[in-house]
Amino acid sequence: MKLDSGKKGLVINLFSLIGFIFLWHILIVLAREDIFNIPFMRLRDIPTPVETWGALAGSMFTRVYGPGVTYGIINHVEASLIRVIQGGVLAFVVGVPLGIWMGYSKLIGNILNPIVEIIRNMPPMAWIPLAIFILVTGGSIFIVFIGMVFPIILNTIHGVKSTDPRLLDAAKTLGASGFGIVTKVVIPSSLPSIVAGLRIGLGVGWMAIVAAEMVIRSPVGLGYFIWNMGDLGRYAEMVAGMIVIGVVGYFMNISILLFQKRFIKWAD
């Protein structure tokens, strides 16, 4: 039987995933049976894939034990996603106009560039203590904002600067105003780059939110969940939460790619 390249890819994908899970299982079992252990690691304490799966299934929805309510992973995903979206919208609203301005006007670019260049090198996590001290609420959203705004600004600038000069000249020749040039030529032409910035930004924002939720107090959120589970010695739930973070991040990336493919057909 001959497989076409798509099917072949699928088979390889599947085997690699299964192989990884199998390797994970073997490593833990070997460590628990004292046959092999990676030095300086307590591999035996890591849950096996089966245990992790059970924990994931068991903690997916909110559970109530007597007076205690433990929120389900879906509630934590929801809370984290909402924060990322809030921070993302804020970053988009600030980042895109700023990027266009900086890319379009040489003067503004020269003024703001050094500031952006320095601040963008401060990782979002470095802002956490400051966020705790100065913000009464919304610290996590602020951290997401910091993580997302710079990729958006930089990609927008890049998009604006790579607008085809012939298009600009044509628009000017035809008598378009400065505002018209920006809205009708510059923005559409830099849209693919802006969306790319958004995609990168979301990746950073998603990582930042998990870190922020571990430190900034809030009763719900994925970062909070895995930290809490660790505190209770529920390592299987903790690892399940980590996997969910990966899976959600992956789907976020994919959905933006799909969006890009569907709505911005002139990309690439």
Least distance to other proteins from the beta carbon of 13, Å? Answer: 5
Among 24, 25, 29, 58, binds other proteins (CB under 8 A): 58
Residues 202-221 that bind other proteins (CB under 8 A): 217-220
Eight-state DSSP code of residue 127: G
- Contact assessment for residue 241 and residue 229, using Cβ atoms and an 8 Å cutoff: yes
Eight-state DSSP code of residue 68: E
Among 57, 89, 122, 126, binds other proteins (CB under 8 A): 57
Q: Assess 119 for contact with other proteins (CB under 8 A).
A: no
- Classify 176 as helix, strand or coil: coil
Q: Assess 63 for contact with other proteins (CB under 8 A).
A: yes
Q: Assess 93 for contact with other proteins (CB under 8 A).
A: no
- Contact assessment for residue 171 and residue 185, using Cβ atoms and an 8 Å cutoff: yes
Q: Which stretch binds other proteins (CB under 8 A): 42-50, 88-96, 145-153, 196-204?
A: 42-50
Tokens of 63: 């559970």
Closest to other proteins by CB, 92 or 225: 225
Q: Which stretch binds other proteins (CB under 8 A): 50-58, 78-86, 88-96, 100-108?
A: 50-58
Taking the C-alpha atoms of 56, 201, 136 and 73 in order, what is their torsion angle to the nearest 10 degrees? -10
Q: Assess 257 for contact with other proteins (CB under 8 A).
A: yes
Q: Assess 68 for contact with other proteins (CB under 8 A).
A: yes
Spatial separation of the C-alpha atoms in residues 252 and 132, rounded to whole Å: 27
Q: Assess 234 for contact with other proteins (CB under 8 A).
A: yes
Cβ neighbours, 10 Å, residue 91? 28
Q: Assess 32 for contact with other proteins (CB under 8 A).
A: yes
- Comparing CA positions, the residue from 107, 59, 106 lying closest to residue 241 is 59
Among 1, 6, 106, 265, binds other proteins (CB under 8 A): 6
- Classify 63 as helix, strand or coil: strand
Place of tokens 């895995």: 226
Closest to other proteins by CB, 54 or 109: 54
- Comparing CA positions, the residue from 55, 64, 22, 21 lying closest to residue 235 is 55
**Binding site residues, other proteins, CB under 8 A:** 6-7, 9-11, 13-14, 17, 32, 34, 42, 44-45, 51, 53-54, 56-71, 136-137, 217-220, 228, 231-236, 247, 251, 254, 257-258, 261
